[in-house]
Every structure is written in structure tokens, then in C-alpha cells.
Structure 1
């Protein structure tokens, strides 16, 4: 399985000629080569993780692509056919087995309502938590897509999260709110955390790929 990091929170996974997309949102440039898409995961309803424009583009290229997301996304994306998933659910679509964890978005501020969020484990190999520090209990994570920067993220909490997940390797995502210098600094912190468990941290830029 090959993972491609897109801008911000968006990932593309390819296996056996099929493609799975995760969280193409408002900070992600228009995606290309979409005809082989067999599924789309949206972790929560915030626009930096999905937009109608991305959904329309994907569905034009690959009509009928199933969309898996929590109930909040189904409400926000009225008019789209969204299959609601919750923590504990498992779905197989094409070459991809999806297991969902978590349940809630991290708190941004007491004045902002807490919404639903699901983390997704793909083929028991790649774990992406969305906007949360949800640890997939009972799972040895091979590769973690670790959030680097967000209104809800404090770097000390992000370090503790990587230490808790204990992945064999990790790379940063959710990073478009950071300056170049800030991204480099946060990467160094998560690199340290990954290495405490004997893992490897990889610095992926948009368009970079990793074979899992």
C-alpha cells in the first residue's frame, strides 16, 4: 500500500490499482487522477477536512464513490450519500479495510461546541486520528499520521500522543496552519517522540509518497 501526503489533512492511499482518499478539505489543492477512487473517509465536519467542491470533483470522476463519515458530516453534507460510521465500526471497500476509533474532536475552546470525529485505521497498517488524540486501543500501529499544528494542538500534547501510540514510524499531517519554521520545530519534537519507542519519523511534503 502506498500513501501520498496531500496538503494539510488529506491523504491518498493506493493499493491493487484502487484509491482511498481521506479528508480533502479547504487547504488541499484540487486532487487529480481520481478515476480509481473506491472510497472516501471524512473524519469530521470542519471545512479544512472536506468541501463540496472536492466531493463533486471526486464523484464526477468516480461516480458512486462511497463516503464514510460520522453523523455530523452527514448533516453538514446534506444532499450527498454519506454512510455514517462510529467508533468500533469496521468496513471493507475494495482493497481497503477501515476500522474506526475515537469519537470526539479535541476541544478548541469552551465557547466552541465539541463535535464528532473518527480516527481511521487502514488495513491494520496506517492510523490517522483526524482532529483528536484518540489512541486505537489494542492496536500496534505500524504507521501514524500525526497532527503537527492546529488551533486545538499544543505541542506537548502532540508529543505525549505519539509516545502513547508508540508507532513503528510516523509522519506529520494537519500542518498548513504552521509557518515553515514552526513546522520544522514541531517535526523535531515528534521525531524525538517517535524515536523514544525505536520508531522512525519521516518528513513528508505534499506529493511525497511512502510505501507501507
Structure 2
């Protein structure tokens, strides 16, 4: 299994000829890949999904299923795209991908901003991506896609979260809100949290990691 990181939150997981697209939002290049069997959307914020990105993916992959929490289904209702609604504890099998879902709520941005649905995904029992949350899946994690920059993110909490999950490897995502200097600072702290028990892998957009 291979995961390719695109810009910000979007990742493409490949197993054989099948692909799983996760969180294709508006900070990400148009996703023009084929072979997509499923699209997982952790929540409805536009940096994680836009109707335009989703329409482009489905135009090339009309049989792909779209999976996400109830908030995603409500936000995309006007598009007419059917959403397979999932929440914490649910499982789905799509092509070669075994998906388990963890968590229910987005991290708090501010007390004045409503907290929306957010459900992270564990792919084939090895790769976990929490979306915009600090959800711990409650199972060993081989590879963690770790958010490093966001309005809701505090570096100390990020470090505590990664230390609690204790992945064997981690790579940073959700970085578009950071300058080059900020990215270096945040990934440096992420490295401290991952090592020495695990390893941090820095992936530029378009680079891949074998999971």
C-alpha cells in the first residue's frame, strides 16, 4: 500500500490498481487520478472538500463511493451526490480498502464558532488520519498523517497527541496555513514527539510513502 500526499489535507492511497482519495479541498491541486473506488471526507470545511473537486473526481470515476459523517452529507446535499454516512465505530470495505472510522467532532477553533462533525479514518489497519481532530483510534497505528498547522492547533497539544498515538512513522499534513519558517518549526516539534520511538517522514506534495 502506498500513500501519496498532495497539498494540505489531501492524500491518495493506492493498493494495486485501486485508489482511495481523502479530503480533496480547495488548497489542493485538481485531483485528476483514475482508478478511484472511494472518496473519504472527514468533514465539510472547504480545505477538505469542495463540490468542484468532488465533481471532477466523480466525472473520472463514476462508480466511486463517497463516505463521510452526517455534516458532510448535509453540506453537500445540494450537489445530489449520495454520501455513505459514517460515524465513530463504523467500518466499510471498498475494493482492497478496509476502513474503520474514529471520532465524531472537529477540534474547537473558538467558543464562538460551532463545532462540526469530523470522523477520522484508519486504512487497512495501518494508516490513520484524524482529520481536524486529536482523536485517538484506540488501536496501534503504524503510520499517522499528523496535522501540523490550523486555526485550532496548538503545538503543545499536537505533540501530546502524537506521543499518545505513538505511531511507528508519521508524516505532516494540513500545512498550507504555515509559512516555510512556521512549517520548519512545527515539524521540528513533531519530530521531537515522534522520535525516538518512531520516525518522521517529510513528504512534499506529490511524494509517496510505502505503508
Common fold, TM-score beyond 0.5? yes
Aligned residue in 1 for 2:56: 57
Aligned residue in 1 for 2:169: 169
Aligned residue in 1 for 2:135: 134
Aligned residue in 1 for 2:69: 70
Cα distance in structure 1, aligned partners of 2:209 and 2:202? 10
Aligned residue in 1 for 2:18: 18
Aligned residue in 1 for 2:113: 112
Aligned residue in 2 for 1:40: 39
Instruction: State the Cα distance separating 1:65 from its structure 2 match.
Output: 1.1
Instruction: State the Cα distance separating 1:206 from its structure 2 match.
Output: 0.3
SS in structure 2 at match of 1:46: coil
Aligned length in residues? 209
SS in structure 2 at match of 1:14: strand
SS in structure 2 at match of 1:116: coil
RMSD (Å) for aligned C-alpha atoms: 0.6
SS in structure 2 at match of 1:191: helix
Whether the 8 Å CA contact 2:32–2:56 is kept in 1: the answer is: no
**Alignment of 1:156 onto 2:153:** no
Q: Mind listing any 5+ residue stretches in structure 1 that lack a counterpart? A: none
Aligned residue in 2 for 1:210: 209
State the TM-score, normalizing by the size of structure 2.
Answer: 0.98
State the TM-score, normalizing by the size of structure 1.
Answer: 0.97
Aligned residue in 1 for 2:99: 98
SS in structure 1 at match of 2:104: strand
**Alignment of 1:8 onto 2:8:** yes
Cα distance in structure 2, aligned partners of 1:102 and 1:59? 26
Instruction: State the Cα distance separating 1:32 from its structure 2 match.
Output: 2.1
Instruction: State the Cα distance separating 1:31 from its structure 2 match.
Output: 1.3
SS in structure 1 at match of 2:140: coil
SS in structure 1 at match of 2:62: coil
**Alignment of 1:143 onto 2:131:** no
Instruction: State the Cα distance separating 1:64 from its structure 2 match.
Output: 2.5
Q: Mind listing any 5+ residue stretches in structure 2 that lack a counterpart? A: none
